[in-house]
């Protein structure tokens, strides 16, 4: 299954579940919400009417007094109201009043006068000073015939009738309204929710379809580009937007660097083949010049100068070949196949032994400082040792004769830290960002020849293989300081 289709299906499932849950919640809340609003209105109505019926009930004329007359007139009135698109012509509310024993003494419908309503919750609870309400079916077999009843007490207070200085409930007035009267409003709200929910779901699916198509198109273009590069074809980076554009540029950069590395490897092999014969000839000539029997003596000064030049150049070319081969080997590797746990102090000691002769020739001292407990790293012993050797040789090239090169091994959080500091002239500002580039080299003090420019590049590549990093900067007290930072084992 293609990724675009997988994305679309996943998006559809998420949207469908969200729409189902939200729709279910909304629809379940519409009916209770409308009924709660209706109950609140009935509470107000019942309490207002209870106050109006008090005098007639107290006087014993609740069935034929002013209150009863007004209610009957109200039930015959043509209301003529338009409520949210629905026409209301007649009053849909029933009003009945019971005495203090729960006997119906007034009924706006005129059907239950004289009946005992004391067992119904609305009357039973209200007579006991509590909020009374109930919802009962007019037809036990029809769930849509339920009627909401909300009651209010008819109370007389001190000043009307004295009874231990407190108010007394003399009856109950109940306002009843069929729940079916609000059904059209509930149905209308549910229809609106369903309609707009469908619109939103359709819009979400359309957006998901467009997004999935766009993602699939971007990924497909990048995949075709990668396939073409793998096949060695000439390929143009596709136009992409956002993160896909960044990914495309990263692929292009990776391709360029890989091609560059392949070129270097081919160049190294060719250079090795071409230089081995001249090197053998130069070394042979040096041996002859140094002491061939029977030959016409060459002036000592010339002979010594030629011998020194030949040896120096042959040594320099041999060093370049070795470093190019080592760099090509490091660049070609993608990871360290068999990393080992290494005590960094031991690796430092091995590297120090390899540069001891060079340091002695220049009259330099190597001081090794270990701060804190022993540090253990994971990696390739040869690559780490050669990296440290390169840093020490680089420091020796710039350090003044008779000075000290300080190498410090320490722990910094979750990293191992190795610093190599010399007391030389430091690194020019313009070169700080380029010292790890291939073949980039600075002039040595006292007219000494430049290096191959491959040593620090090797260090940077070796650190990448170890998930570490290398840096070179000027020290605040003079000289340069090279830093290797590696994760602890």
pLDDT in tens, the chain (489 residues): 566 666 667 767 777 777 776 666 666 666 677 778 888 889 999 999 999 999 999 888 988 899 988 888 877 776 666 665 666 667 788 899 999 999 999 998 888 899 999 999 999 999 999 999 988 887 878 877 788 899 999 998 755 544 444 678 999 999 999 887 767 766 777 677 778 777 877 877 787 777 777 777 777 777 777 777 676 555 666 766 666 676 766 776 766 666 555 555 655 654 565 566 557 667 766 665 666 565 566 666 766 766 766 766 676 666 666 666 666 666 556 567 778 898 888 888 888 888 888 888 888 888 888 888 888 998 888 888 888 888 888 888 888 888 889 999 988 888 899 999 988 888 888 888 888 877 677 777 765 555 666 778 888 888 888 888 889 989 888 888 989 999 888
What's the Cα-to-Cα distance from 312 to each of 397, 426, 456, rounded to whole Å? 16, 26, 22
Label the pairing between strands 415-421 and 104-107.
Answer: unpaired
What per-residue confidence (pLDDT) applies to 165?
47
Residue 48 is predicted with a pLDDT of 93
Helices 3-59 and 66-75: crossing angle in degrees, nearest 10, is 140
The predicted pLDDT at position 434 comes to 84
Relative to beta strand 168-178, strand 146-156 is antiparallel
Helix (H) or strand (E) holding 178: strand 168-178
Helix (H) or strand (E) run with residue 188 in it: helix 183-230
- pLDDT, position 8: 65
Tokens of 241: 């937007």
Contact 149, 23 (CB under 8 A): no
pTM above 0.85, yes or no: no
CA pair distance 38, 49, nearest whole angstrom: 16
| Dihedral, 213, 216, 222, 224 alpha carbons, nearest 10 | -100
**pLDDT for residue 427:** 86
Local structure of 379: helix, strand or coil: strand
**Strand pairing category for 404-412 and 365-370:** parallel
Residue 337 has a pLDDT of 73
Instruction: Give me the half-sphere count of Cα atoms (radius 13 Å) on the Cβ side of residue 90.
Output: 6
CATH number of 340-487: 3.30.565.10
Given a contact cutoff of 8 angstroms between Cβ atoms, the answer to whether 387 and 458 are in contact is yes
pLDDT of residue 317: 67
**What pLDDT is recorded for position 331?**
58
pLDDT given at position 232: 56
Best CA proximity match to 387, nearest among 470, 291, 266: 470
Q: How far is residue 212's CA from residue 383's CA, in Å, rounded to a whole number?
A: 46
> Token pair 């096949």 is at which residue?
231
Superfamily of domain 3-187: PAS domain (3.30.450.20)
pLDDT score recorded for residue 10 = 73
Helix or strand (DSSP H, E) at 10: helix 3-59
The per-residue pLDDT for 306 is 65
Which tokens in the block code for residue 408?
């410090």
Per-residue tokens: 338: 């068999």
Q: What pLDDT was estimated at residue 157?
A: 72
Alpha helix ranges (H) inside 299-402: 300-332, 344-354, 356-361, 381-398
Tokens of 74: 């109200």
């Amino acid at each position: 299954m293609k990724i675009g289709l997988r994305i679309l299906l996943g998006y559809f499932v998420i949207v469908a579940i969200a729409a189902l849950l939200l729709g279910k919640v909304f629809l379940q809340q519409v009916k209770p919400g409308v009924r709660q609003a209706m109950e609140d209105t009935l509470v107000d109505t019942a309490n207002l009417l209870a106050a109006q019926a008090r005098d007639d009930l107290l006087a014993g004329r609740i069935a034929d007094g002013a209150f009863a007359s007004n209610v009957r007139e109200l039930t015959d009135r043509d209301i003529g109201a338009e409520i949210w698109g629905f026409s209301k012509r007649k009053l849909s509310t029933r009003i009945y009043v019971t005495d203090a024993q729960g006997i119906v003494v007034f009924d706006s419908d005129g059907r239950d006068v004289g009946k005992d309503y004391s067992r119904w919750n609305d009357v039973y609870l209200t007579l006991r000073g509590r909020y009374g309400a109930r919802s009962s079916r007019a037809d036990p077999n029809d769930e849509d015939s339920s009627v909401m009843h909300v009651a209010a007490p008819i109370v007389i207070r001190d000043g009307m009738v004295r009874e231990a200085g407190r108010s007394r409930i003399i009856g109950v007035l109940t306002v009843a309204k069929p729940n079916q009267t609000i059904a059209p409003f509930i149905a209308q709200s549910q229809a609106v929710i369903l309609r707009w929910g469908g619109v939103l779901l359709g819009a979400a699916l359309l957006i998901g379809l467009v997004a999935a198509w766009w993602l699939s198109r971007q990924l497909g273009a990048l995949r075709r580009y990668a396939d073409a590069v793998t096949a060695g074809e000439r390929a143009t980076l596709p136009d992409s937007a956002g993160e896909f554009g960044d990914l495309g540029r990263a692929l292009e950069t990776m391709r360029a660097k890989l091609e560059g590395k392949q070129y270097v490897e081919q160049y190294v092999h060719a250079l090795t083949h071409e230089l081995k014969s001249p090197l053998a000839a130069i070394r042979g000539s040096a041996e002859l010049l140094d002491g061939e029997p029977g030959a016409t003596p060459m002036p000592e000064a010339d002979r010594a100068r030629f011998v020194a030049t030949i040896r120096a150049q042959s040594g320099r070319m041999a060093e370049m070949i070795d470093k190019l081969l080592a760099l090509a080997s490091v660049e070609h590797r993608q990871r360290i196949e068999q990393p080992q746990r290494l005590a960094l102090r031991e690796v430092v000691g091995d590297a120090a032994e390899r540069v001891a002769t060079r340091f002695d020739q220049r009259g330099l001292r190597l001081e090794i400082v270990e701060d804190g407990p022993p540090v253990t790293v994971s990696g390739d012993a040869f690559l780490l040792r050669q990296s440290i050797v390169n840093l020490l040789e680089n420091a020796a090239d710039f350090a003044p004769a008779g000075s000290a090169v300080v190498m410090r091994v320490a722990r910094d959080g979750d990293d191992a830290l190795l610093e190599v500091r010399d007391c030389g002239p430091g690194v020019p500002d313009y070169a700080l960002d380029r010292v790890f580039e291939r073949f980039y080299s600075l002039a040595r003090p006292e007219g000494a020849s430049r290096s191959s420019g491959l040593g620090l590049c090797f260090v940077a590549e070796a650190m990448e293989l170890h998930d570490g990093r290398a840096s070179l900067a000027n020290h605040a007290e003079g000289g340069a300081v090279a830093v290797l930072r590696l994760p602890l084992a």
